[in-house]
Chain A
Amino acid sequence: MDDLLLEFLTETNEHLETVDVEMVRFEQDPNNEAILSNIFRLVHTIKGTCGFLGLPRLEALAHAAETLMGKFRDGMPVTTPAVSLILATLDRIKEILGELERQGAEPEGSDGDLIEMLDKMASQEAPAPEPFVPAPSPQSSGQLVYQVLERELKPGEVSLDELERAFQEAPGPEKASTSGTLTYQVLERPLKPGEVSLDELERAFREAPGPAPLVIDKPAASAPKAEAAAPQRPAQASKKNSDASDAGEGAEGIAGKVQTIRVNVDTLEHLMTMVSELVLTRNQLLEIARRSSDDHGYKVPLQRLSQVTAELQDGVMKTRMQPIGNAWQKLPRVVRDLSNELSKKIELVMQGADTELDRQVLEVIKDPLTHMVRNSADHGIESPADRKAAGKPEKGTIRLNAYHEGGSITIEISDDGKGLNFAAIRKKAVERGIAGDSEVERMSDAQVAKFIFHPGFSTAAKVTSVSGRGVGMDVVKTNIELIGGTVDIRSEQGRGTTFTIKIPLTLAIVAALIVASKDQRFAIPQVAVSELVRVSPSSEHSIERINGTPILRLRDRLLPIVPLSKVMGLSGNEDVNNGFVVVTQVAHQRFGILVDGVFHTEEIVVKPMSSKLRHIQLFSGNTILGDGAVVLIIDPNGLARMVGSGADSNEFQSDAGLEQTIAAADELTSLLVFRGGGESLKAVPLSLVTRLEEIDASTIEWSSGRPVVQYRGRLMPLVSCDDELAIKRQGMQSLLVFSDGEVSMGLAVAEIVDIVEDKLDVELLAERSDLVGSAVVRGRTTEIVNIAHYLPMVLETWARKDRRGGPDKSLLLVDSSTFFRDMLVPVLKASGYRVQTAATAQEAVRLLSNGLQVDVIVTDLELSGHSGFALVASLRADPHHSSTPVIGMTVKPDAQQIALARKLRISEIVSKIDRRGLLSALAELNASLEEAA
């Protein structure tokens, strides 16, 4: 293919992209003449170049489109069908260009359909055809199209159609090449006597022989042709006309040109590879220089080399940088077409289009971005009627926003549509067997939202031509992760959805932290690292363990710790407590990677993983360090996946369990907030409190130094909620009354503050038995009081006197939440049970198979990792426990659970927070057991 054609292709493609965008803008703003003239100019340029290069199909199409646009310029109303038609024409032009690029020649085919429609559209608004236009003569070719002159013909003038036919019928050597593809242009003003129509001119130009670098040189050649067809027109007039039009075209070409050259991408890629190698070599030299102490005079030049290399690297990187707007260019068109197709009103707002990123990255994210915008338009934005009903403006907005943030770029795609339907996703996830029934109930919305990235996952009620086929989001995620990026979803029902994509600026060279684990070095991309913490058992930061799972308390947040050596299988099971924690942030997941040592950061050149090792999701690639050693690059995303998917690897099951406990706590809990002796706020779950009382302090009696009060005909022991608070001797004393069956306890508090409903996200505290932990309630740190701490304090003494012969039965409590276990154990103990606890179904099974004999099992039916139902089912299969009574606890019992429970002979299902219900269920069970005995 010659250079001229190549140049033409690149240029025309660029023009078309612009026209696409401009056209959409124009449709929204039909009175903007600047846009129209810009479009007109671009299309005209395309047409001109096509004609010049001898590309008749393209030229004809461009011409027909231009004609219609000319009509717009003359005041024809801009209608959606018209714009769609022009856009369709542009698409056809692109198709032809694509073929042209592949084969070097314009493909065969006819565009009569489009041209006819364009012409029809163009003529719609024109006055009725002149009465004396002659009927097309039979011998004219089928491709003939009619054009309407916008004014009455003056005497002596020939109608355009006649002229056209005359041309077609006129003999001439070039006839074969011109007939059938010739199309016409409408003159925007009446022809003056003696002028030649633009079509004639155009045709004359094309038929003129010679290289014709400048059309302007050829007026003489065009004259005889025009004369032959329409002899009544003097030829010299054409000169004036062409002068004028060419002057206009020529000027625009030169104006506004930036000093640029086109460089083949391969050349740039090669340059990049070479620079990468240079960086590596530089690193090696620096390493040698670091190791040897004596200076042979090369250290200064080496410094210089290092600097130059860095600058060169920067420079080359810059050449690869492109504004992200390039990837967005197609989007206005996509959104426009979609809004028409779906009859929705959608506005696309783009911000930060000039944010630059690596060409390679841009290529990878182009399609995912388009896909996500399509998704937002199709699934996110509601129909105008629905929006109106929801009190939103009829026009939905899709917002694209790109900005730099550290070493990465963040792209947000947000819509103000209906948001994700979490209930539907949950249901679908269960249907597709991705997650269990109980599992999805426990998951937070954020976790549920991630399901949409599963392959084949779609909740769309009907499959539209746009999306909903369940392909796509997984591909989007894969593509983005391929380049080390992350995708995140935030969605609010009725308010919209925001996707946040974070991607590295470039792929080739990244800054990485070199760490060591068990004498082996690894590189962790700096982008993912948020901080480094040194840990040792005696220091401020020490690693603690929950059931063997390492945890670090960092600024009062619990950070799951992943010992690198363990993930890698480099070490056995010994616990590591010394080293460094690399705090890593991947999307919203934060975790610490425990390593033995941290060296330095280094610019590393990422080399792809061997195909034999690519399945290890822990590594994203490898590199050669300055000292020549090969190190593996850890993929924080992969690590996060390994941490997150508890089902896949046993090592992290406890982590996953912890996560789910927290997720379960995401549900709203009613809390009673009160104040004790100190300033700090305290709270207890309201469900545990039986009553709130205010009693006259003078009624408090002191029996052997312990405060008691007569309450509902019984003596109720009182206990102060903390040491700082003394129980009042006079005035009114506020009490929280907790009851266990007939035994009650009064917790004396200074003041009852409020009852709030909030997410209970308890951070466990180990040292204080009177507190479960602390949580942020209504924005204030609040201590969550452990009632279990107080019950024995009073009940021990009380029970001695008053304890009715309890059932003296053994009970196994299975609940994955420490919080609930702590709450229930004392209650159950107080009721006379010997209580054993298990945090997981596995633990319960282990206890039972180790010969633990229990009279009754109380289990949460929504255990993490393993369903409570599964536990019961496995017990029922075991002859020893096939008839052990089981009471199930659940957050909200539903019909399905009840049916399943009946099948498994679960005696009773009680609500998890209904302590009284549990006790009465136990009592009932006892009664029936005793009856049976």
Chain B
Amino acid sequence: MALITYREALNRALREEMRRDDRVFIMGEEVGEYDGAYKVSKGLLDEFGEMRVRDTPIAENGFAGLGVGAAVAGLRPVVEFMTWNFALLAYDAIVNSAAKMRHMSGGQFTVPIVFRGPGGSALQLAAQHSQVPDPWYANIPGLKVCTPATPADALGLLKSAIRDDDPVVFIEGELLYNVKGEVPDDEHLVPIGLADIKRVGEDVTIVTHSKMVHVAMQAAEKLAAEHEVEAEVVDLRSLRPLDLDTYVASVKKTNRAVVLEEGWPVAGIGAQIVDDIQREAFDYLDAPVARVSGLDVPMHYARALEKLIVPDAEAVIRAVKHVCYLD
């Protein structure tokens, strides 16, 4: 085991998969000469050359579509968006081309592509550069969506995503790049669509993903220390497919659930999880499921308001106490 950062884990995944399969190439703004806007692609140009590490113009629709074409023709592109905010310009390529070509052609064409980059709120980047795109993609049949929270999951999921025959939207946490964690030294693959129980508990289930996993863990430790409540933290890891078997089983055990996400509440991913729980675990619930989400407003620049908008451990603790009838 080695202690490395989330950023290094992603870099290792790219390097390992590019060495393993010469159909894999990466393209995007600043990925080559500049070593990546967030240094995820650091050193790759030197090792693999320009055809496999391609600096693109700032033209998201164009290079995302080009990636789809290359995938259809048999390559395995990794398209980096400097951030997912810019990928809105490529939404047509992702949704109308990548996600649908297999279906529309009656199964004739396979689209093995990974779209990746950082998402979620960052620090004082204001409304256009601080938002959570996760549910926009989780909504689309034809896509798979990964949102790793730890270095080990970032490594294992990105390698699985690159090997997957379907288009994968891979949303990294912009504030997670420096998070450190233990990562296996050997080949490490995490299956897409499998949640992970990051903390075992008996009293309440917190279902969450990406950066919010760390918020949930903080809340869980505090709940155990101060309120004698043992929370089980389910890290979804993938938003499509959603591993409902895992969180439904957990809620059947604990009888209470808090669903936590960083993004906006309306039609958020949490809405789907609450639906799965009420449908499959109704007779096991001891309280209505609580949701904690980002506030329903474009991000503010002012730090004080930004802090209010993004969910924190205190909000999670209040929600847990409510569903445990402790408030």
Is chain B a partner of chain A in the same complex?
A: no
Which B residues have a C-beta under 8 Å from some C-beta of A? none
